[in-house]
Structure 1
Amino acid sequence: MKKGLKKFLALTTVAVLMVGSLTGCGSKEKSDGSDKVLADNDISVVSREEGSGTRGAFIELFGIEEKNNAGEKIDHTTEEASITNSTSVMMTSVAGDTYAIGYVSLGSLNDTVKAVKIDGVAPSKETIKDGTYKIARPFNIATKGQLSAVAQDFVNYIMSADGQKVIEDNGYISVGEAPAFSGTMPKGKIVVAGSSSVTPVMEKLKEAYLAVNQNANIEIQQSDSTTGMTSAMEGICDIGMASRDLKDSETQGGLKATAIAMDGIAVIVNKSFIVDDLTSAQVKDIFTGKVTNWSEVIK
């Protein structure tokens, strides 16, 4: 295998076990006497696949994506990064490697990993709302042309006070005040496709909507933001999900974006690891490969 070739972490149990078994290989571990581990060891960078909305927002917000002289956006994520294809695999990968660092939607964060402070600010709904935690992006749904009656009713539910309460109750930030839902209980099937970051809250919205309209049938297809936008443009799904802003090519393709929530991106490390706070510059240096050993950021 060529040096620098990106490693792809498969969804299989075998791959997950391999990640866990490699933890600490060749390490110089030191203990502070607690369950935390200090380290002079190489950083295991874990990123998302190309097409992921979370990756797109992450590299933009941290300046990992930069324009070249021709005005083209270039992603400078290190070629040594392991690549995961979903939020759940990202967290499993970081949880299984003491020296790993990755990133996930704040709304998807669980206690298997640890979210670090960025520039001294912890990621939370409150710090995103007050603007002190700046690593945040919109969750968008995208539609093309006129929706079916049932699909439009579902969108109306999402944007209503009822739907926005579901969003808030599940750790995301609502997009503003809205009237209570008043639906007509239309019948039919809705296909929603795209971002694995948006999928968890969309599942909650589906559950809540079906409780008030049992005539509907909703199928959610999890992939990534780019696939969701392509599916919406091609009519494969009624509603696409993106954890980023839409690209010019997508809006030019007839898609209309509607922001349904705001969400932060949490930078995550292994729970046992000593680091609790990183600067934006350190995160950029780690993910571009400028910094490769934890001793360079842990003094």
Structure 2
Amino acid sequence: MIMKKVIVAMMLMAMTATTVAGCGSNDTAADTTTETAAEDTTADTADAAEDTAADTAAAGAASGAISVLSREDGSGTRGAFIELFGIEQKDADGNKVDNTIDSAEITNSTSVMMTTVAGNKAAIGYVSLGSLDESQVKAVLIDGAEATAENVKSGTYKVSRPFNIATKGDPDGLAKDFIDFILSEEGQAVVEENGYVSEGNTGAFEGTKPEGKITVGGSSSVTPVMEKLKEAYTAVNPNATIEVQQSDSTTGMTSTIDGTYDIGMASRELKDEEAAQLTPQVIALDGIAVIVNKENPITELTSEDVLNIYTGVTTDWSEIAQ
């Protein structure tokens, strides 16, 4: 009997131990299930945040550090740009100071500016409207106005400047005949066909077909339309040889003063010291298009936005009202 009681007691103890172990296993499984659910919830929250960020970007919100591009010193486009947007200011002594942010990346031509902006999603730059290639970059509206030749002509788009040519003294021979063509009905038709604004013409061209060679040089913004004018002129005067050299507006004027160029090109007004030594002539009006990368959702800026970006007050696209 005693032996039976011992055996029964041992069986009861074993059953109790098994029950306790089972409860421990159930608790562990429950804890594991809880932890897995928490992890899943965290992952779902992260995924939702990523989806929200993606949706925000898709909705057109721009963000990230702005990459500012400008033109080189001596560029007529830069000179006109900083003047028109108030980036250039006079100091206490009356001297003009260019306040373009020091970190701006400098490009040395219209074409390089466009390809650089096209390759940088965060970039902003500016180019001659007549040279704008919208397959590469996007021109933004400024103060609600689109950058078009029609808006420049009507005055709606106010970011514009003159294209000037200049000679040392009164031109003669081939230089005079070419300038007469540029200002004629035929020449100004070429100007307008290439996206620039004509301020009128002198009537039908009556050339004398002089022989010889002249060199025209200067602004990279004026160069494209000058090449077209050269092509049209030499079609009616095959006796002429015209070499067009691309540099910048300042070089165009100084090289005309020293006799290197017969005709200089400037995409701005002549400076006082230049005008004192040269005879200028406006051949067209051109807008300056403010450009961004085609993937940038920004479509419009105010003049104040551009000023703040180029002087370093605004440094991130998220700071632009959208």
| Smaller-chain TM-score bracket | 0.7 to 0.9
- Corresponding position of 1:59: 82
Letter in 1 for 2:273: S
- Go from structure 1 to structure 2 and tell me whether the alpha carbon gap of 1:149 and 1:289 turns closer, same or farther (over 3 Å shift): same
Aligned counterpart in structure 2 of residue 186 of structure 1, from 210, 231, 234: 210
Letter in 2 for 1:244: R
Q: Is the 8 A contact 1:36 1:273 kept in 2?
A: no
- Go from structure 1 to structure 2 and tell me whether the alpha carbon gap of 1:261 and 1:296 turns closer, same or farther (over 3 Å shift): same
Q: Is the 8 A contact 2:216 2:264 kept in 1?
A: yes
Normalized per residue, the structure richer in strand is: 1
**2:258 is aligned with 1:244:** no
- Corresponding position of 2:121: 98
Matches within 5 A, 1:10-49: 31-32=54-55, 38-49=61-72
- Please state whether the residue corresponding to 2:68 is helix, strand or coil: strand
CA distance in 2, matches of 1:266, 1:32: 30
Aligned counterpart in structure 1 of residue 143 of structure 2, from 111, 115, 119: 119
**2:274 is aligned with 1:257:** no
**2:225 is aligned with 1:201:** yes
Q: Is the 8 A contact 1:224 1:242 kept in 2?
A: yes
- Corresponding position of 1:221: 245
CA distance in 2, matches of 1:40, 1:52: 30
TM (normalized to structure 2)?
0.81
Identity, % of aligned positions:
61
Following superposition, the deviation at residue 146 of structure 1 comes to 3.6
Following superposition, the deviation at residue 290 of structure 1 comes to 0.7
Number of equivalenced pairs: 270
CA distance in 2, matches of 1:54, 1:296: 26
Aligned counterpart in structure 2 of residue 175 of structure 1, from 199, 217, 226: 199
Aligned counterpart in structure 2 of residue 87 of structure 1, from 110, 131, 136: 110
CA distance in 2, matches of 1:129, 1:161: 18
Q: Is the 8 A contact 2:170 2:279 kept in 1?
A: no
Q: Is the 8 A contact 1:192 1:237 kept in 2?
A: yes
After superposition, the CA RMSD in angstroms is 1.6
TM (normalized to structure 1)?
0.87
CA distance in 2, matches of 1:105, 1:32: 35
Normalized per residue, the structure richer in helix is: 2
CA distance in 1, matches of 2:72, 2:54: 34
Which is higher, the Rg of structure 1 or of structure 2?
2
CA distance in 2, matches of 1:35, 1:193: 46
Unaligned runs of 5+ in 2: 1-51
- Go from structure 1 to structure 2 and tell me whether the alpha carbon gap of 1:209 and 1:32 turns closer, same or farther (over 3 Å shift): farther
**2:175 is aligned with 1:154:** no
- Go from structure 1 to structure 2 and tell me whether the alpha carbon gap of 1:290 and 1:148 turns closer, same or farther (over 3 Å shift): same
Letter in 1 for 2:103: E
CA distance in 2, matches of 1:124, 1:109: 10
Following superposition, the deviation at residue 37 of structure 1 comes to 6.6
